Structure 1
Amino acid sequence: MTEFSGRKGGPIQVTRPSLPPLEEVMPYLEEIWRTRQLTNSGPLHEQLEAALRDYLGVRHISLFANGTLALVAALRALKVSGEVITTPYSFVATANALLWNDVTPIFVDIDPVTLNLDPVQVEAAITSKTSAILPVHVYGHSADVSGLKDIADRYRLHLIFDAAHCFGVEDEGGSILRHGDMSILSFHATKIFNTFEGGAVVTSDADTKQRVDCIKNFGFANETKLVAAGINAKMNEFQAAIGLAQLPHIGAAKDARARIDALYRERLSAVVGVRCHERSKARAHNYSYFPIFVDSDYDLTRDELYLCLREHGIYSRRYFYPLIPEFSIYQSLVDSSDRGWPNAIQASERVLCLPLYPDLSEQDVIRISEIIKQYQRG
């Protein structure tokens, strides 16, 4: 038995949801059955908000049914309008949330190393219609928070971070979630911390937290006062129960992910034509993903390697492919001849995320690495 507790046969998925021991969930379920409060900021919801606030080291957090609704509500709470500058290199929910708020996404290129928004490109895209910047901390690696804040401050723009990948990530000053007007988390089943589905808005401002809480509850400030055209985006008590049971295990999950990350780097370090994505200089990582670059001096293209691994029962993912503006519904929003995102295009064509989850076995990491190694040129 290795220090990685492995799966027993079957295909290897790119991720596998972490679940707390069932016996640790049962007391929370018994509490739900006792109180009969299933939603509407019940006792478990309030416990989880307090527990996450303390764990993450943030001032205010508002729980949501999922991360996309959290982002939609955050944009609405800040009354974002017109155009918002964002990245083409993300999951489509980032830009979909803008369309749901009748806001036009303006896609600019990314840094070729970090794969995060390039502040130089952001500043060059600002117009009189720009109201906000929406960066993504890709793969849990921090965007240039100081550079983006400087731009946002000088042009009086809102700064909202899509931090779906960043649960537990810290820089030298503390939680990466403290930056900007708001940061948005996802607690989807694929994330390091999950509540099956779920999400949150993090902010340092109490009034902003109050507005967000109203918006996620149909717009009600109290039983008789409606202050906004809100939505129903509340996290229910069952989701909160799963989160409370998950939280004590996050440290062990991060440690397991760190060991897997290190083993991949060791086994792939000498493979010609394959590069591991550089870690950021964060004080605390969460090892959410393991992306590699498949370069032109490798014997297979990225897509050929993707298919090759599938033939071996290994399901990697091309995060993020296609780029958001390459989807048909977004092509009408951008000049089809523009494609002014050469770094994002290259990443989209070369990045492959390998399987990574706490109970992925050492033997499987080695097997995946050996399959990749055998196709190196020469």
Structure 2
Amino acid sequence: METAPCSAAEPIHVTQPELPPLGEFVDYLEKIWSSKVLTNGGTFHQQLEQALCEYLGVNHLALVSNGTLGLVLALKALRIVGEVITTPYSFVATAHSLLWNDITPVFVDVDPASLNLNPQSIEAAITPRTTAIMPVHCYGRPCDVDAIQKIADNYNLRVIYDAAHAFGVKDEQGSILRHGDLSVLSFHATKVFNTFEGGAIVCPDAKTKQRIDHLKNFGFINETTVVASGINGKMSEINAAMGLLQLKRIDEVIEKRRRIDILYRQKLSAIRGISCLPYPVGGLSNHAYFPVMVETEYPISRDQLYDHLRASHIYGRRYFYPLISDFPMYRGLPTADRSQLPAATAAAEKIICLPMHPGLNAEHVSYVVQKIHEAA
């Protein structure tokens, strides 16, 4: 095993934001200072919406202040009530958005290979109160969108995709974001594409976008008319300006991630008991995360490896542990029973996401792999 010259005292975080040159951002700030337009759909906001539509290959997109609020607004825009089928294997915001709309989450198991919602489990969980499905493109890996849509059509259900991880992800026909009734992106600092904080809702038509634009601005349609119980979910001009700068380099960022992904796979292949998730079939990955499974053949547990890496200043994350269904506000639900969620439970106990971001180099990757090898 190659010994990397990376310093053990240098922290290696699971992610860190890619930022443009500060001078370029200052140029945008000067324009904002000059215009004194800070929010409410200013020039940069309008430019970013258009630029993102073009880059992502979608027709309509509404910027919002963050991805979580995007989920809340998406549910509100489609007037979802009752029960929504979703995954326990995700960041907690997925289910929180349901509670904020007084909707009951119904957890079903994931497919053990993709870690996305298992379509067979979805269909078995449908009741007369079910109104929608909220799948997650986990780690940016596309869901079985055709199977999910077929179920939705058969039972007259809406589909809202939590696409927080899926910026720029494509399947064989184009953008993964074109599926479902709405798709919600996160532009948080930890994501492949970030605007410091932010998000977007991909809409199928101009009418739906207009409703979301009203809802994210308190329900106003003009100076004196309010048509819905909206909220303040607007993206500021500063966040939009950052997005315009980030978009200039996003292809380079994803390419750097791709090269790190390849290097990890090459170096980890010789370590028994550490398995990498396969690439999505027929799709284009954004390499948002690098999850590995710590299998029983590995001599120590996932949590022991997690602690071993932290002792070496390598800060991986156990995404997603615990399951959402294990948290106090959800574990009393009948569908939160772990015995009904075997694949999700196994993933939560096996997976650790290794550091993955464009700031890593070959020495960092070698050092991480060296420490995993040492523990074995």
TM-score calculated relative to the size of structure 2: 0.96
> What does 1:195-206 align with in structure 2 at a 5 Å threshold?
195-206=195-206
Which residue does the alignment assign to 2:99? 99
Q: 1:315 to 1:26 in 2, by over 3 A?
A: same
Which residue does the alignment assign to 2:191? 191
Shift of 1:285: 1.3
Q: 1:282 to 1:196 in 2, by over 3 A?
A: farther
Counterpart contact for 2:218–2:231, Cα < 8 Å: yes
Does the residue aligned with 1:330 lie in a helix, a strand or coil? Answer: coil
Does the residue aligned with 2:300 lie in a helix, a strand or coil? Answer: coil
Q: 1:114 to 1:270 in 2, by over 3 A?
A: same
Shift of 1:337: 5.0
Which residue does the alignment assign to 2:180? 180
Please give the root-mean-square deviation of Cα atoms over the aligned residues, in Å. 1.3
Could you report, residue by residue, the CA deviation over 1:186-211 in whole angstroms, capped at 9, with x for unpaired residues?
A: 00000010000000000122111111
Does the residue aligned with 1:328 lie in a helix, a strand or coil? Answer: coil
Q: 1:241 to 1:336 in 2, by over 3 A?
A: closer
Which residue does the alignment assign to 1:139? 139
Which residue does the alignment assign to 1:22? 22
Q: Distance in 2 between matches of 1:9 and 1:26?
A: 33
Q: Distance in 1 between matches of 2:129 and 2:373?
A: 49
Q: Distance in 2 between matches of 1:70 and 1:143?
A: 19
Q: Say which is worse superposed, 328-337 or 292-301, in terms of deviation.
A: 328-337
Does the residue aligned with 1:353 lie in a helix, a strand or coil? Answer: strand
Which residue does the alignment assign to 2:295? 295
Shift of 1:333: 2.4
Q: 1:7 to 1:101 in 2, by over 3 A?
A: farther
Q: Distance in 1 between matches of 2:29 and 2:226?
A: 32
Q: Distance in 2 between matches of 1:260 and 1:337?
A: 37
Which residue does the alignment assign to 1:65? 65
Counterpart contact for 1:160–1:182, Cα < 8 Å: yes
Which residue does the alignment assign to 2:3? none
Shift of 1:265: 0.2
Shift of 1:34: 1.0
Shift of 1:180: 0.4
Shift of 1:28: 1.1
Which residue does the alignment assign to 1:116? 116
Q: 1:249 to 1:320 in 2, by over 3 A?
A: same
Q: Distance in 1 between matches of 2:312 and 2:39?
A: 44
Q: How many correspondences in the alignment?
A: 371
Which residue does the alignment assign to 1:371? 371
Could you report, residue by residue, the CA deviation over 1:21-48 in whole angstroms, capped at 9, with x for unpaired residues?
A: 1121122111101110000001110011
Which residue does the alignment assign to 2:46? 46
TM-score calculated relative to the size of structure 1: 0.96
Counterpart contact for 1:7–1:360, Cα < 8 Å: no
**Unpaired segments of 5 or more residues in structure 2?**
1-5
Q: 1:256 to 1:338 in 2, by over 3 A?
A: closer
Could you report, residue by residue, the CA deviation over 1:158-193 in whole angstroms, capped at 9, with x for unpaired residues?
A: 001000000001111111000000000000000010
* Residue 159 in structure 1 maps to residue 132 in structure 2: no
Q: Distance in 1 between matches of 2:9 and 2:202?
A: 40
Could you report, residue by residue, the CA deviation over 1:267-286 in whole angstroms, capped at 9, with x for unpaired residues?
A: 00121111001110243211
Could you report, residue by residue, the CA deviation over 1:98-137 in whole angstroms, capped at 9, with x for unpaired residues?
A: 0000000000000001000000000000000000000000
**Unpaired segments of 5 or more residues in structure 1?**
1-5
Q: Say which is worse superposed, 83-92 or 283-292, in terms of deviation.
A: 283-292
Counterpart contact for 2:87–2:108, Cα < 8 Å: yes
Does the residue aligned with 1:28 lie in a helix, a strand or coil? Answer: helix
Does the residue aligned with 1:285 lie in a helix, a strand or coil? Answer: coil
**Partner letter of residue 119 of structure 1?**
P
Q: Distance in 1 between matches of 2:307 and 2:217?
A: 45
Which residue does the alignment assign to 2:268? 268
> What does 1:330-349 align with in structure 2 at a 5 Å threshold?
330-334=330-334, 339-349=339-349
Does the residue aligned with 1:261 lie in a helix, a strand or coil? Answer: helix
Q: 1:266 to 1:347 in 2, by over 3 A?
A: same
Q: Distance in 1 between matches of 2:160 and 2:101?
A: 14
Which residue does the alignment assign to 1:284? 284
Counterpart contact for 1:274–1:294, Cα < 8 Å: yes
Q: 1:63 to 1:335 in 2, by over 3 A?
A: closer
Q: Say which is worse superposed, 329-338 or 74-83, in terms of deviation.
A: 329-338
Counterpart contact for 1:169–1:282, Cα < 8 Å: no
Shift of 1:266: 0.2
Q: Distance in 1 between matches of 2:350 and 2:329?
A: 24
Shift of 1:241: 0.8
**Partner letter of residue 277 of structure 1?**
L
